[in-house]
Amino acid sequence: MSEIVIEQQQYLTYLLSDGKAQVAIVPERGGIVTHWQVEGEELFYLDRDRFKDPALTVRGGIPLLFPICGNLAGDTYSLNDHQTYKLPPHGFARNLPWQVTHQATYAGASLTVSLKSNETTRSGYPFDFELNYTYTLQGHSLELRCRHTNLSAQPMPFSTGIHPYFAVSDKSHLSVDFPSTEYQSKGGAEVLAFPGHFDFEQEEIDFSFINLQGRSATVTDKSRNLKLTVDYDEHYSTLVFWAVKGKDFYCLEPWTAPRNALNTGKICL
């Protein structure tokens, strides 16, 4: 039976349940999912200290990326008006409070969170917009559907994506099946061949997989007998894998455009 329970924790938290799975969503902290448990197994990593401090970005759960993914060169970009604007890495959506605009418990438990443009967003992104993201928990699947509405008179360039942090205790037990064998390292222009596995002894892995040949990526954690699959639609051109040595997470991030896309023009419209 699906249900939604609202709890006042540090932040108002919506708990979606469907059978033996549960998801926690915190609208005022970037519309973020903080936890996802399936059969009692926690799938997400969350840095609780950062989460408690509203002055810090959240590291964990599923941060929502808009209007850029990754970073801009110099954190700046220019539009046709030749004015220069500034945006933080991954944009501002993950740092702003969202509003709950719909909830339902038929065909799973679902919650829609929304974000509208305001003076804060227009200072770095001079467009009027409305974002609607709907999370649906059904069985062992968590679906996210998003709608980006341009309320401006001119075209609105943007990219979007998600940044899920999956929990892992020993990365040496991970195996991956990705729809690409070509990637670029962060800050590098060279296209490299992926051997099918990662060297987790590196201090940091930040690979952007390009020329995707499929709509699904899988990571298997043999130590937990756990297989996670991330599916995405045709709008997503880039798949980022990020891991930091000594941290109990890895990130598998579908993006609709590569980093710095507002400057290079490789962007959604």
User: Which pLDDT band holds residue 268 (cuts at 50, 70, 90)?
Assistant: low
pLDDT at residue 236, as a whole number? 97
pLDDT at residue 179, as a whole number? 98
Over the Cα atoms of the chain, what is R_g? 18
pLDDT tens digits, 110-140: 999 999 999 999 999 999 999 999 999 999 9
Provide the token pair at 219. 């990571």
User: Which pLDDT band holds residue 187 (cuts at 50, 70, 90)?
Assistant: confident
What domains, with CATH codes, occur in the chain?
A: 2-264 (2.70.98.10)
Summarize the confidence of residues 172-186 as an average pLDDT.
97
Provide the token pair at 169. 């205790």
Taking residue 81's Cβ as centre, other Cβ atoms within 10 Å add up to: 9
Q: Give the rounded percent of residues in the chain with a pLDDT score beyond 90.
A: 95
With 0.85 as the threshold, say if the pTM is over it.
yes
Does 64 have pLDDT greater than 60? yes
User: Which pLDDT band holds residue 109 (cuts at 50, 70, 90)?
Assistant: very high
Summarize the confidence of residues 196-210 as an average pLDDT.
97
Mean of all residue pLDDT scores within the chain: 96
Distances from the Cα of 96 to the Cαs of 21, 31, 121, 239, in angstroms?
Answer: 27, 8, 9, 24
Q: Helices in the chain by DSSP H: which ranges?
A: 48-52, 119-122, 261-264
pLDDT tens digits, 221-262: 999 999 999 999 999 999 999 999 999 999 999 999 999 999
Summarize the confidence of residues 19-46 as an average pLDDT.
97
Does 104 have pLDDT greater than 90? yes
Q: Helices in 28-138 by DSSP H: which ranges?
A: 48-52, 119-122
261 Ramachandran zone, left/alpha/beta (phi>0; psi -120 to 50) = alpha
52-56, 66-70, 248-252: lowest mean pLDDT where? 52-56
Provide the token pair at 262. 């507002």
Cis bond before residue 88 (omega within 30° of 0): no
Summarize the confidence of residues 33-57 as an average pLDDT.
95
Q: How far apart are CA 183 and CA 35, in angstroms?
A: 30
pLDDT at residue 267, as a whole number? 76
User: Which pLDDT band holds residue 269 (cuts at 50, 70, 90)?
Assistant: low
